[in-house]
Amino acid sequence: MAFRPIRRFGDPVLRMAAEPVTVFDQRLRSIVADLLDTVDAPGHAGVAAPQIGVGVRAFSYRVDGEIGYVVNPEVVELSDEVQDDVEACLSLPGLGFETRRAQHAVVRGVNADNEPVTVSGSGLMARCLQHETDHLDGMVYIQRLDPERRREAYRQVREQSWFWQ
């Protein structure tokens, strides 16, 4: 359908929990198509519906050559083993902060036809699944940082030319 512009940190849609999808119709298929077109751009690993201004529980991903989407995703499994790595977000362009995530994650949801879907992965895929599901809960990854690093992240956000535009 269309590549959609990414909403930036500070946009209220990124702070609100997305609504579960209850109607599986052409509107949903259009949203999914836009999510897939948007995630297919270079440098995009995942895009949640709120990031394109749509407050529904759906996200797309493109990690290690695998592209797909999940509607009404729920994280159903996280490993005890963790990874600490720099995380970034399309809604916070130009910034990245070390963020702890589970090394392995499993997400269950449905596709646009309301058929069950399970996506699992380790490393970057696990990070993506957790990051995009957080977006659907109204959380941006810098909110997961410890208080000192979170203050520094917010300071850096305020210094960005795109902030408050």
Annotated active-site residue 74? The verdict is no
3-state SS assignment for residue 135? helix
Q: One of 19, 81, 87, 132 is an active-site residue; which one?
A: 132
Beta bridge mates, 82: 102
Are the beta carbons of 117 and 108 closer than 8 angstroms? yes
Rounded to 5 degrees, φ, ψ at 54 are: -115, 120
Burial class (CB in 10 A: 0-12, 13-18, 19+), 75: middle
Q: Which residues belong to the active site? A: 132
